[in-house]
Amino acid sequence: MKQLFFLEPGKFEWREVTDPAASPKGALVKPTAVALCDLDTAIMQGTLPITGPFAFGHEFVGEVVELGDEVDGFAVGDRVLVSFQISCGSCDRCASGLTGSCREVREGAMYGVGALGGDWGGAFADLIEVPYGFMMMRLPKEIDSAAIASGNDNLPDAYRTVAPGLAEMPASDVLILGGGGRSIALYAVMIAAALGASKVDYVDDSESRLEIAQQLGANPIEGPPPEKMGRYPITVDASGRPDWLATALRSTDSGGVCTSIGIYFQDPAIPFINMYTRGITFRTGRPHSRASMPKIIEMVADGTINPSSIQTTAGWEELPDALENPPLKLVVTR
């Protein structure tokens, strides 16, 4: 079968690889809509120390081609959203919602980043092995595959930054600092507005993203931000910049929650005494995608959120040219 490999920034290559086989507890899936994750974009730009070659892509919807003997509840031909993280669904961590830290696989196991994720292959391929049926969720007919292609990673990542806080503190003001996780920050705006935030302030230094944020219901604020922007019960760092992270932390109100989706390879300076004095909660780390996928599917199906509003689609035959200068959120379909 054919598999798209990332070689280095600006360079991709189709390669012939051995067809995967379905494990007894899993399935083979044909990817039909693959989105470019914010992590993918950073890798492509060379801003993260993740080098090729490796099979590329991990946000996807697909069609079940083959099922293992031990998999129930699915049929060949089903359209499914597949968790980008490898998770068994049976261990104590998966059972408690920590599906990104499954005990049955190595830490950080995922598609699309080569050996760093355990060499599980990538979604820009003819077929992809899903080792555990638990990782799949059947999609209702009313959901467009392209619209939900990020429902296994960037959308859950955005959801966890604002939804739990708004459930605990309804109608709170929300501050989101974007620019690093480009689509995640805007998905967070979309979700916060949909879930009843009283105000969503969005900070970025991109005029185009500020315009989109405003269309999604946010108050756009051109960056860079000051050291402190007031007091917000819920703050989000999707900037990837240590000084902007510090602003988010300083701007979190007493008893509030700051969530950072950024990947910082060097320890950033944080305003610890400020955090301590206010007694805030700081959350970081990868999302537990499979745990949030049911809620994402529900919100897209009932029209609460519309991910398509920030997406651009391209055809499968346009790869890898479509990756040369990708838009804000590219989704490739076939």
Residues 146 and 163 in one domain: no
The domain in which residue 235 lies consists of 154-283
Whole-number percent of the chain with pLDDT over 70: 100
Greatest alpha-carbon pair distance for the chain in Å reads 58
pLDDT tens across 97-125, in order?
Answer: 999 999 999 999 999 999 999 999 999 99
What is residue 275's predicted lDDT score, i.e. its pLDDT?
A: 96
Average pLDDT over residues 218-229: 97
Q: What is the pLDDT of residue 105?
A: 97
Number of domains in the chain: 2
Rounded Cα distance between 4 and 319, Å, is 9
Residue 127 has pLDDT above 90, yes or no: yes
Between strands 2-8 and 11-16, the pairing is: antiparallel
Is pLDDT at 29 greater than 90 in this prediction? Answer: yes
Quick one: tokens of 280? 């805030």
Span between the terminal Cα atoms of the chain, in Å:
16
Residue 270 has pLDDT above 90, yes or no: yes
128 and 231: one domain?
no
Evaluate if residue 33 carries a pLDDT over 90: yes
Instruction: Say if residue 139 is in the same domain as residue 186.
Output: no
d(CA 157, CA 176): 13
User: How high is the pLDDT of residue 4?
Assistant: 97
Residue 224 has phi, psi (to 5 degrees) of -75, 150
Rounded mean pLDDT, 212-224: 97
Q: Does position 191 have pLDDT exceeding 90, yes or no?
A: yes
Q: Are residues 199 and 131 in the same domain?
A: no
Do residues 293 and 207 share a domain?
no
Indicate if 205 and 275 belong to the same structural domain. Answer: yes
Would you state the structure tokens that stand for residue 42, as one six-digit string? Answer: 């950073």
318 residue type, one letter? E
Averaged pLDDT score across all residues of the chain: 96
Secondary structure of 230-243 in HEC code, one letter for each residue: CCEEEEEECCCCHH
How large is the average pLDDT for residues 193-208?
A: 98
CATH number at residue 296: 3.90.180.10
Stretch 218-242: mean pLDDT: 97
Residues 141 and 161 in one domain: no
Read off the pLDDT of each residue in 70-96 and give the average, rounded to a whole number. 97
For residue 208, pLDDT over 90 is answered with yes
pLDDT of residue 48: 85
Same domain, 47 and 94: yes
In this prediction, residue 50 carries a pLDDT of 87
pLDDT band with cut points at 50, 70 and 90 for residue 285: very high
Least Cα distance to 325 among 92, 105, 12 occurs for 12
> Residues 277, 292: one domain?
no
CB 69, CB 80: distance < 8 Å: no
pLDDT at 243 (0 to 100): 97
> Do 26 and 91 fall within a single domain?
yes
What is the CATH classification number for the domain harbouring 196? 3.40.50.720
pLDDT in tens, 288-315: 999 999 999 999 999 999 999 999 999 9
Average pLDDT of 273-297? 97
Asked if residues 230 and 251 have their Cβ atoms less than 8 Å apart, the reply is yes
In angstroms, rounded to a whole number, what is the distance separating the alpha carbons of residues 246 and 185? 17
Q: Are residues 273 and 249 in the same domain?
A: yes
In the predicted model, is pLDDT for residue 258 greater than 90?
A: yes
- Indicate whether 53 pLDDT > 90: yes
pLDDT at 47 over 90: no
Q: Do 173 and 294 sit in the same domain of this protein?
A: no
CA distance 35 to 329: 7
